Amino acid sequence: MNKDFTITAFTENHIGLLNRITSVFTRRHLNIESLNASESQIPGIHRFTIVLNTTEEMVQKLVLQLEKQVEVIKAIYHTDEETVFQEITLFKVSVEKAAQDNLVERLIRDKNARILSIEQDFMIIEKTGHKAENDDLIEFLKPYGLIDYVKSGRVSLIKPNEELTDLRKMVEEARQANENQELN
């Protein structure tokens, strides 16, 4: 049965790696729902957070394929229940239409959003939350002159720590192995 999985891949930061990672999904005709790449807590190591909807059997195969990439130090997958995750959405809303109804600011606050900037013609609103919450705010803002919006990819942290406790050791071993290969 298909469900959402979050794959976290810890990698070195090399040119072309993103392309090689996404090609693993393309070859299997799988759509990436969300992708985020950033620095990790370990200097020189990056974290890819990839969300997709598939079977557990398929996600297990994907993780094994990702780990075959030389620059991938560790890849793991988790269900939504095993992670804490959020997305950020920025909205550009017409000031004129929003000002016609004084309830907008109160309702934005009730939805745990905040106004980041107010310009002459528009305001920028930020909402951090789950995808469904952010999508609800999109629908709410449409009658108030929603001009544009942009959504981030999912950012997430894994609840259990067991898989990551030896990550630093794995990084050092991988770096040492790479240095040894370069010397030979």
Report the C-alpha gap between 144 and 98 in whole angstroms.
5
Domain 3-84+155-167 and domain 86-151, same fold? Reply is: yes
pTM of the model: 0.82
Topology classification of domain 86-151: Alpha-Beta Plaits (3.30.70)
**Can you give the pLDDT at residue 161?**
66
Report the C-alpha gap between 105 and 91 in whole angstroms.
13
Please write the tens of the pLDDT for every residue from 151-184. Answer: 999 999 888 765 566 677 777 776 677 677 667 6
Work out the mean pLDDT of the chain and round it to a whole number. 88
The domain segmentation of the chain, as residue ranges, is 3-84+155-167, 86-151
3-class secondary structure, 133: helix
> 32 pLDDT exceeds 90?
yes
Please write the tens of the pLDDT for every residue from 80-107. Answer: 999 999 999 999 999 887 777 666 777 7
Report the C-alpha gap between 137 and 83 in whole angstroms.
23
Architecture per CATH, domain 3-84+155-167, reads as: 2-Layer Sandwich (3.30)
**Can you give the pLDDT at residue 163?**
59
**Can you give the pLDDT at residue 43?**
84
Share of the chain above pLDDT 70, in %: 89
Please write the tens of the pLDDT for every residue from 46-74. Answer: 999 999 999 999 999 999 999 998 899 99
User: CA-CA distances (angstroms) from residue 81 to 46, 75, 78, 85, 157?
Assistant: 24, 18, 8, 10, 11
